[in-house]
Structure 1
Amino acid sequence: MKIIVTSIFVQDQGKALEFYTEKLGFVKKHDVPAGEFRWITLVSPDDADGTELLLEPNNHPAAKEYQQKIFADGIPATMFSVPDIHKEYKRLLECGVQFTMEPTQMGEVTLAVFDDTCGNLIQIVQQTK
């Protein structure tokens, strides 16, 4: 068994698609109508056949409440790996991304947290070898 799709709740699919592709550099794999919303998945540009990230509308009351509560508590909704966190941090700052935590070493990882403008905190991590 392997993970093929994982999702993140977003307040606005169009805004999320723009942020995740233009700021973060993910590549759109699917964008098809699904009722009043869309099935939008993204992949890493380095792994077009890898795990897809679904931009899931948070229109269900439980999804909205969950998203709001973890955001308010400062809990990242998901984590992405980067090869050089200081380089990525600088690049994202230059793109206007707002960080809530600058790169910080914690044990065998260095992590940073930013606001995705769609209701989520996202953690980026560089593993120390």
Structure 2
Amino acid sequence: MKIHLTSVFVDDQEKALRFYTDVLGFEKKHDVPLGGEDRWLTVVSPEHPDGPELLLEPDKHPAVKPYTSALVEDGIPAASFAVDDVQAEFDRLRALGVHFTQEPLTMGPVTTAVLDDTCGNLIQIVHSA
């Protein structure tokens, strides 16, 4: 068994697509209209284009906003992405104007940082030595 698809709820799919591709560096994989404004919109790592997909899922269900708001208020990331160098990625993203709620923090063999994806989520970047 392997992970095929996971998702983050976003308040605006177009804004999320720009952030996840133009800023974070993912590539668009699928963009299928579902009627109205909603789309089946996924991104993938350019290093693993056939790997797990991240669905940028509309946050229209009534349970989503209270859930995502509670996670953000408590500082809990909705997703975690592996990077080769947390400090370098932190510096690159901060130069692009990304807001971090946690600067790089090393805990034993793991370094993390947490950013605001501008679409309603906190995202953790992590490197394990």
TM-score bucket (shorter structure): over 0.9
Pairing 1:21–2:21 present: yes
Pairing 1:42–2:20 present: no
Q: Identify unmatched segments of 5+ residues in structure 1.
A: none
AA aligned to 1:49 is D
AA aligned to 2:5 is V
Pairing 1:126–2:119 present: no
Secondary structure of 2:84 counterpart: coil
For residues 34 and 108 of structure 1, the distance between their equivalents in structure 2, rounded to whole angstroms, comes to: 43
Q: Per-residue deviation at 1:2?
A: 1.6
Which TM-score applies when normalising by structure 2? 0.97
Which TM-score applies when normalising by structure 1? 0.97
For residues 114 and 101 of structure 1, the distance between their equivalents in structure 2, rounded to whole angstroms, comes to: 7
1:58-101 deviations in whole A, cap 9, x for unaligned? 10011111111111111100100000111111100111100011
Q: Per-residue deviation at 1:35?
A: 2.3
Give the 4+ runs in structure 1 shifted more than 4 A: none
Give the structure 1 partner of residue 86 of structure 2.
85
Q: Identify unmatched segments of 5+ residues in structure 2.
A: none
Percent identity reads 61
Secondary structure of 2:63 counterpart: helix
Task: Give the length in aligned residue pairs.
Answer: 128
